[in-house]
A and B are shown apart, each in its own frame.
Chain A
Amino acid sequence: MTRPLARLEAAEPLPTRPAIRIRDLRKVFGQLVAIDGVSLDIAPGEFFMIVGPSGCGKTTLLRILAGLDSVTSGAIEIETPHSQRPVNSMIFQGDSIFPWMTVWDNAAYGLKMRRVPSATVKEVVGHYLARTGLTRFAKYYPHQLSGGMRQRVSIARAFANDPEILLMDEPFSALDAQNKLLLQEELLHIWEEHKKTVVFITHSVDEAVFLGDRIMVMTAQPGKVKTFVPVPLARPRNIMELQKMPQFGELIAHIWSSLREEVHRARQQEEEIKS
């Protein structure tokens, strides 16, 4: 019933405090129970992955973390140690950059809303446009770009905003295989530099294992925690080397076996609704 976005005491030793703490979260849309009793802790700097069948409440969970949706019951606490930085920035599923702004203005949006000095905006936005390969397109409008480039703009926008927590909702699913790989690697580089807390939704089990420290598998609707799977692969990771490691394949097989049941259940549910 409460949703205390508590600013916990900064005096507490950091590692003992989770960055995100969720207890008995429940979210209901009318008759539909989207999320049912999810509890989890995410450590500061953790790269946390969520996988689950479509419609199991992943996006809803992320929107609740972003403060865009309310909870029906349960508690969420988000630690905010550096108060001048924004708590979270979301990379939305699907097209979300403003069609009426250039690539540059889109990427600078969060900083401008926070009234960051323009010299800093210039430097930071320039940096992230370069890292997402968009420098040449700074003055373009979104309709002049491909879908993958637009998604890169939304990634640059979130990174440039320098939040405590990055919330990423299937950010790479619209990209072609090569661009996806480049951006996954770039994301890992950036994350290794800054160690932001990342909550990352994906429908790709490979991606979950390649990127994550820990993976949460969710059940079909109503979304619950099915299992947590730690990913004990050393970092920095390299996809070529990972693919040669038996451990990588085993993890994928393990997660997939847990996920496949849920995907089947979700499919059955869909068929029941249709008939």
Chain B
Amino acid sequence: MSVQTISTGSQAASKMSARTRDRLLNIISPLALLVLWELCARFGFIDTRFFPAPSSVVSTMIEMLRTGELVTHTAVSMQRLFYGAILGGVPALVLGIVMGLNRPIRALFDPLIAATYPVPKSAILPLALLIFGLGEASKIFMVAVGVFFPVVINATTGVLEINKIYLDVGRNYKANRWNTFWTIALPGALPVIMTGFKLGIGVGLVLIAVAEMVGAKSGLGYLIWSAWSTFAVEQMYVGLFVIAIIGFLITLILNELERVIIPWKADAT
């Protein structure tokens, strides 16, 4: 038996198992919590009026899936989240990068962003309702606002953090403004921008739930709110579960997207 074979073999195996072990641990912790919760509910350690057993929440969820109610609400919320993310994210991306590249523009917009950023976004919901009414526009607007700030701030920071030598290379090789944007500023800042976008989606998810609680007739926020008014606690938990799952899935998708669009980052294994 050769020592070398053993060491390389076990190295590869331990690398593989480290990854699988992480995955397993990732699944075990939420499962354990659910089991604990279920047991506490069954044995009366917790008040099921406020904390219904997961099994009863699941059966409510199945029922709501059968009626199509849950799918409709989820789809509506996701759609608002999507449009809001695009409407807030794209202008933020462009403005942020331009601010990073251009000092006067940065000086012009910096104070505006610094002054508006600390305002709690949920506090402007009444204003959004006033301006955009009770329809889709006010919800999409709220998400857009939530996504806008982290993206614009991170895009500016990301461009400012690009090593100056790359901008010098661009100048020396006669990159025009358009090419400087696309070939240097955007890819150079992309890792930081992605972080901002993930933060923004998180804020957007909060805001969509809040916005749908007031003056909406659909969406997961509405579902949760109406469950409160009818004291349908299981239904409320279904709404909360689905929002949690959506948040989790979006994170997974964005991480995957990051890997695809930022292939030059040291191979994440």
Contacts and interface: CB of A to CB of B under 8 A. Distances in A.
Interface residues of B, number: 21
Interface stretch (B72-80, B126-134, B164-172): B164-172
B54 interface: no
A90 B172 contact: yes
B187 A113 contact: no
Contacts of A100: 187-188, 190, 262, 264
A68 B168 contact: yes
A109 to B, nearest CB: 6
Contacts of B190: 100
A207 B263 CA distance: 38
Contact of A113 (B168, B175, B263, B266): B175
A66 B174 CA distance: 11
A96 interface: yes
Nearest to B167: A68
A112 to B, nearest CB: 8
A125 to B, nearest CB: 13
A114 B165 CA distance: 20
Contacts of B172: 66-68, 88-90
Looking at B262, B263, B264, B265, the one whose CB has the most chain A CB atoms below 10 A away is B264
B173 interface: yes
Interface string B248-269: 0000000000000011111000
Chain A at the B interface: SS class = loop
B183 interface: yes
Nearest to A140: B264
A110 B165 contact: no
B184 interface: yes
Interface in B143-177: 165-166, 168-169, 171-176
Interface of A: 63, 66-68, 86, 88-90, 92, 94-96, 98-101, 109-110, 113-114, 141-143, 157, 161
By Cβ-Cβ distance, the 7 closest A-B pairs, closest first, are A100-B187, A110-B173, A141-B264, A100-B264, A90-B172, A96-B165, A113-B175
Interface of B: 165-166, 168-169, 171-176, 179, 183-184, 187-188, 190, 262-266
22 contacts: A66-B172, A67-B172, A68-B171, A86-B174, A89-B172, A90-B168, A90-B172, A92-B169, A94-B165, A96-B166, A96-B168, A98-B183, A98-B187, A100-B188, A101-B183, A101-B187, A110-B174, A113-B173, A113-B175, A113-B176, A142-B264, A143-B264
